[in-house]
Amino acid sequence: MSRIRRKSSKNLPCVFCGLSDDCAEKFGEKKTYPEHDLTLHYYCLLLSSGIWQRGKENEGIYGFLVCDIKKEVNRANKLRCALCKNRGASIGCVFPKCRRSYHYHCGVKKECIFQFTDSFRSYCWEHRPVQKIVSSQTDCSSTCTICLENVNHVSSYHILRSPCCKTSWFHRNCLQHQALSAGLFFFRCTVCNNKDIFQNEMLRMGIHIPERDASWELEENAFQELLVRYQRCDAKKCVCRGGREYNEPENKWEIVRCQCCGSSGTHRACSSIGELDQSWECPDCCSVVSTPGKRSRPASLAQSDQLGCLGFGMESSPKCPRLSTTPKGKVLLRHISTQERTISDILHNLRLQINTDSVCTMLIQKECLWQSSLECFRNSNFCPSSTLRVKFTKHKFRMECKQPNGSLSEYFGLLLNTVRNSPLLEGSEHKNIALNLEALEDNLYFEAGRMVALALVHGGPAPGFFSQTLFRCLIYDPQHVLPAVEDVADPNVAQAILTIQSCQRIGTLKSAIIHYFDYLQKTGSLRLVQTVSDKVLIIKELLAHHVIRRVQQPLESFKQGLMTLGVLEKIQAHPAIFWSVLVLGPEKLTAKSMTDLFTVTHTDLGVKQQSDALGFWVDYLEDTEEGTTVCSLEDILNFATGLPSVPPAGFDPRPSIRFKQMAQPKARKYINCLELPSFSSYLDFTRSMNKALCTFLCKA
C-alpha cells in the first residue's frame, strides 16, 4: 500500500497547470506537500500573477504563505487559458489592456516571455519584448559559441543577440541550458566575458538565471584530479632501479617537479640536483626563460614579504619566483638581520634624537590631564626632542622649584588612556578615527597623533587600541583599505549594513534599499540593483564612506602628528613589528619575566637576610602568578613604575629593588625603584606587600 501511495503522489498534477510532468529544466522543481494538499511546479508558483511572497525565506512554500497559494489556486480556477481553453490559467500578460491568461507550459509553446526577475512579469506572444536589430546585421549567419552550430541572424523568439559584443548570436535553448548550469555567479557572455550587461538583457528576454552557484561547483570532488601532484621522472635516461615513478623524499631518489610549470619531474640523481633545497626547471621552461624578450627574472620580493606576513589585504603573486643568483650565505645573513630586529632596537634609534642637554619639565594636573598636556605641547618652548620630565601638581602655575615627582612612563600611560577614551576616536575595544568637527578645527587630531609618537619614543606603554583598519590606513593608501562591519561604531549605520547584508532575495534587497534610500543617496552609496550580488558593492561603499572617506581630513591630521620624531616613517617601514605594539598591545607578564626585569640591591643586610629577602620576592611573584595573593603581576609593576606593562622602548632607568630595614614597601616611580622591607618570615613579607598594594589599588 505504501508503494502505491508513493507512486500516486509522484504522479499528482500541479494545482496550477494540471500537468504531472516532473522535468526541472522545463517547469522547475515539482514538490508535493501532503499536509497542505498541494502539488505544484516552482515556475508555475513563481510566475502566477495574483500572489506575492509575504513570508520569510523559511515560511510557507518558497516564502509564499499557504493561505495565499490556496487563494491564488481558487482565482486561477475561475480563469480559462487563452490557448488550451482549460481552467487554471494563473499567469496573465502585464501589457496594459491585454487580458490574456494562460498556463506556463502553454505560454512556452506559444513563445511567451517570462521574466525571472523583479516582479516576475509575463508577456504574451503579441506583446513580448523584442531585440532591436540593425538591418546591416541581418541576412547572414555565424556560429553559436555554446553549441558550435550555425545560427541565422534573424530577430526571433528562438535566436538572441549578445548586447555587449554585438557580434555574437545564440540559440535560446543553448543560453537557457548554460544559465541553469552556470548559475547567477558564472553566467556571462561566452565571447567577451561581460556579466552585468549580458545578464540584464537575458533576463529581459526571458532567460531564467537561478540564484545559486554553478553546477560544477556543487558536484562533490569535481576537481579532485587537480589535487594530484605530478609524480614521474622525465629525464632522458632514468638511472633509478625502482623505475620512473619511484619516489623517496629527502633522498637522491626524490622526484622534483619543475618550479615553473609543475608538469614535469625528475629524480635528483637523474638530473644531478645535489642540495635538497635546490630548484629545477624542465628543458621546455628553460628554453622560454633563456629566450631574449620572452621572460625576465622577477624582482626581489623583500618588501612584499614583510607586508604579506601581516595579511593586510595584500595578495601575494600567484607565480612562484625563481631562485636568486645571489650566493646563499648573503641571503641568509640578510634574512637573519631582518628577523632579529625588535621594536626596542627601532625605538632606541629614534631616541638618539633626544637632546640630553635640553630638559623640558611639564607641569601636569591629573584632574585635567588632556588640557594641561595640550598647554605643555603647544608651549613655544616645548621641543619633542628635549629630555622630558614630569611634575604632577594640583596648581596651574609653577610653584617653588622642586624636583620632578612623576614617572614619565606613568604620565604617558595616563595620556594614552585619555586619548583612547577621547571623542577623537570611536569603537569599543579597538578604535578608529571619529568625526569631530570642533576637534578638527582646533587641530586636536594632530596633537593626538603627536602624543602617540612621543609616548613611543619617550618610554610610554604600547597603545594596543588601534583597529586593524586604522593601522592599515597608516601604512597604505586609505583608498585601498577595505573596512569591516566591526569598524562601524554608529549602531544605526551598522544596522543598515547588516540589514542589506542579510538580504537573500532581490525583492528583500530592493525593500531595504527603499527603506535606507535617503542615507544611501547622501553617502553616494546608492546603486541600481539587478541581482542579489549587487549588495556587495553597496556594503563596500557604505563601509568605505563611513569608516574612511568621511574622516579623511582627521585621519591625515592624525598621521601628520605621528610623523613627530620620524615615528610614522618607521611604522611604514616595519609594519609587522609595530602591529603588535599599536594593535595587539603588551604581552602578559610572568613571574620569570618580572624576576628578570628588576635588578636587586641590598642595603646593610647580612648574607642570610639577603638570601631570604630575594627568595621571598621570587616566591611572592610566583604566588601572584598563581592567583593566591591580593593583586596581579601587573599591579606590582604599576606600583613600582607607574605602568602595568613593559613599554616597547623599555624602562629608563631599568627597574630596581632595594631591600632595607623598613616597615612598609615604598615605590619611587620617577626612578623606577621599589624599596622593600626585610623580614625573617615569608608570612610577614606577604602581609606587608598585600597591605601596601591594597592601599595603592584603593587610591587608584
Q: Give tens-digit pLDDT for 592-605.
A: 999 898 888 766 67
Torsional class of 88: left (φ above 0), alpha (ψ -120 to 50), beta (otherwise): left
Q: Give tens-digit pLDDT for 439-483.
A: 999 999 999 999 999 999 998 999 999 999 999 999 988 988 989
**Higher pLDDT residue, 397 or 345?**
345
Mean pLDDT, residues 33-49:
91
Decide if 1 contacts 25 (C-beta within 8 A): no
The reported pLDDT for the residue numbered 25 is 85
CATH number at residue 352: 3.90.1750
Mutual angle of helices 369-377 and 444-457, in 10-degree steps? 90
With 0-12 / 13-18 / 19 or more C-beta atoms within 10 angstroms meaning exposed / middle / buried, residue 228 is: exposed
Whether 567 and 457 map to the same domain: the answer is: yes
Decide if 106 contacts 84 (C-beta within 8 A): yes
Mean pLDDT, residues 287-315:
42
The distance from CA 639 to its chain's CA centroid, rounded to whole angstroms, is 39
CB proximity list for 389: less than 8 A, separation 6 or greater: 359, 360, 361, 362, 404, 408
Q: How many CA atoms lie less than 13 Å away from 133 in the CB half-sphere?
A: 21
What is the per-residue burial (b if ≥16 Cβ within 10 Å, else e) of 394-419? eeeeeeeeeebebbbbbbbbbbbeeb
The reported pLDDT for the residue numbered 5 is 39
The reported pLDDT for the residue numbered 395 is 64
Helices (H) and strands (E) in the chain, counts: 28, 20
Mutual angle of helices 444-457 and 552-562, in 10-degree steps? 30
Q: What is the DSSP letter of 220?
A: T
Whether 344 and 397 map to the same domain: the answer is: yes
Whether 552 and 600 map to the same domain: the answer is: no
Of the candidates 411, 512, 510, 420, the residue with the CA atom closest to the CA atom of residue 467: 420
Model's pTM, two decimal places? 0.52
Indicate whether 290 pLDDT > 60.
Answer: no
Whether 108 and 190 map to the same domain: the answer is: no
The pLDDT confidence band at residue 10, using thresholds 50, 70 and 90, is low
Handedness of CA 344, 346, 349, 353 (dihedral sign): negative
Mean pLDDT, residues 561-576:
92
Structural domain for 163, as ranges = 139-218
Q: What is the DSSP letter of 257?
A: E
Q: Where are the alpha helices (DSSP H) in 14-96?
A: 24-27, 42-47, 66-76
CATH number at residue 109: 3.30.40.10
Name which of 30-39, 389-398, 507-516 the model is least confident about: 389-398
Beta strands in 131-254 (DSSP E): 141-143, 150-152, 159-161, 169-171
Indicate whether 331 pLDDT > 90.
Answer: no
**Higher pLDDT residue, 341 or 201?**
201
Distance from C-alpha of 132 to C-alpha of 499, rounded to nearest angstrom: 39
Whether 388 and 522 map to the same domain: the answer is: yes
Residue type for 229, please? R
Distance from C-alpha of 21 to C-alpha of 683, rounded to nearest angstrom: 89
The distance from CA 156 to its chain's CA centroid, rounded to whole angstroms, is 48
Q: Determine if the peptide bond prior to 404 is cis (ω within 30°).
A: no
Decide if 500 contacts 526 (C-beta within 8 A): no
Indicate whether 124 pLDDT > 70.
Answer: yes
Q: What is the DSSP letter of 30?
A: E
Whether 199 and 81 map to the same domain: the answer is: no
Domain-located, residue 228: no
Final residue belonging to a domain, choices 218, 252, 267? 218
Q: H or E stretch including 601?
A: strand 599-602
Whether 108 and 156 map to the same domain: the answer is: no
The pLDDT confidence band at residue 140, using thresholds 50, 70 and 90, is confident
Whether 667 and 653 map to the same domain: the answer is: yes
Whether 495 and 577 map to the same domain: the answer is: yes
The reported pLDDT for the residue numbered 329 is 38
The reported pLDDT for the residue numbered 8 is 54
Whether 351 and 453 map to the same domain: the answer is: yes
Indicate whether 254 pLDDT > 70.
Answer: yes
Whether 433 and 364 map to the same domain: the answer is: yes
Mean pLDDT, residues 654-673:
84
Work out the angle at residue 643's Cα, subtended by the Cα atoms of residues 640 and 646, and round it to the nearest 5 degrees.
100
SS3 content of the chain, % helix, strand, coil (to 5): 45, 10, 45
SS3 674: strand
Indicate whether 403 pLDDT > 60.
Answer: no
The pLDDT confidence band at residue 22, using thresholds 50, 70 and 90, is confident
CATH number at residue 190: 3.30.40
What distances in angstroms separate CA 639 from CA 205, 293, 421, 589, 598, one per listed residue? 76, 68, 23, 14, 13
Name which of 175-179, 503-507, 642-646 the model is least confident about: 642-646
Cross-strand bridge partners of residue 91: 102
The reported pLDDT for the residue numbered 435 is 94
CA dihedral (406, 407, 413, 418) in degrees, to 10, reads 20
Indicate whether 322 pLDDT > 70.
Answer: no
Final residue belonging to a domain, choices 198, 218, 238? 218
Domain-located, residue 301: no
Mean pLDDT, residues 247-264:
85
Mean pLDDT, residues 627-649:
89
The reported pLDDT for the residue numbered 118 is 85
Final residue belonging to a domain, choices 218, 234, 261? 218
Name which of 85-94, 140-149, 398-407, 623-632 the model is least confident about: 398-407
In the chain, % of residues over pLDDT 90: 41
Count Cβ atoms below 10 Å from residue 359 Cβ, excluding itself: 11
Domain-located, residue 243: no
Of the candidates 501, 469, 471, the residue with the CA atom closest to the CA atom of residue 483: 469
Residue type for 416, please? L
Indicate whether 294 pLDDT > 90.
Answer: no
The distance from CA 572 to its chain's CA centroid, rounded to whole angstroms, is 20
Indicate whether 336 pLDDT > 90.
Answer: no
Of the candidates 468, 410, 422, 413, the residue with the CA atom closest to the CA atom of residue 640: 410
Q: What is the DSSP letter of 315?
A: P
Domain-located, residue 674: yes
The pLDDT confidence band at residue 223, using thresholds 50, 70 and 90, is low
Name which of 89-98, 419-428, 495-504, 642-651 the model is least confident about: 642-651
Name which of 288-302, 567-581, 677-691 the model is least confident about: 288-302
Residue type for 683, please? L
Distance from C-alpha of 70 to C-alpha of 85, rounded to nearest angstrom: 22
Q: What are phi and psi of 414, to 5 degrees?
A: -65, -40
Decide if 244 contacts 211 (C-beta within 8 A): no
Decide if 81 contacts 49 (C-beta within 8 A): no
Domain-located, residue 457: yes
Indicate whether 138 pLDDT > 80.
Answer: no
Look-up: residue for cell 610577614?
A: 684
The reported pLDDT for the residue numbered 38 is 92
Q: What is the number of structural domains in the chain?
A: 4
Mean pLDDT, residues 379-389:
90
Query: What's the Rg (C-alpha) of the chain?
Result: 37
Distance from C-alpha of 404 to C-alpha of 401, rounded to nearest angstrom: 9
Mean pLDDT, residues 227-243:
85
Decide if 499 contacts 505 (C-beta within 8 A): no
In the chain, % of residues over pLDDT 70: 86
The pLDDT mean for the chain works out to 83
Q: H or E stretch including 493?
A: helix 491-501
Indicate whether 221 pLDDT > 80.
Answer: no
Q: What is the DSSP letter of 42?
A: H
Q: Give tens-digit pLDDT for 69-79.
A: 999 999 999 99
Cross-strand bridge partners of residue 266: 256
Domain-located, residue 264: no
Of the candidates 342, 562, 381, 569, the residue with the CA atom closest to the CA atom of residue 456: 562
Residue type for 20, please? S
Whether 165 and 68 map to the same domain: the answer is: no
Indicate whether 500 pLDDT > 90.
Answer: yes
Domain-located, residue 195: yes
Domain-located, residue 287: no
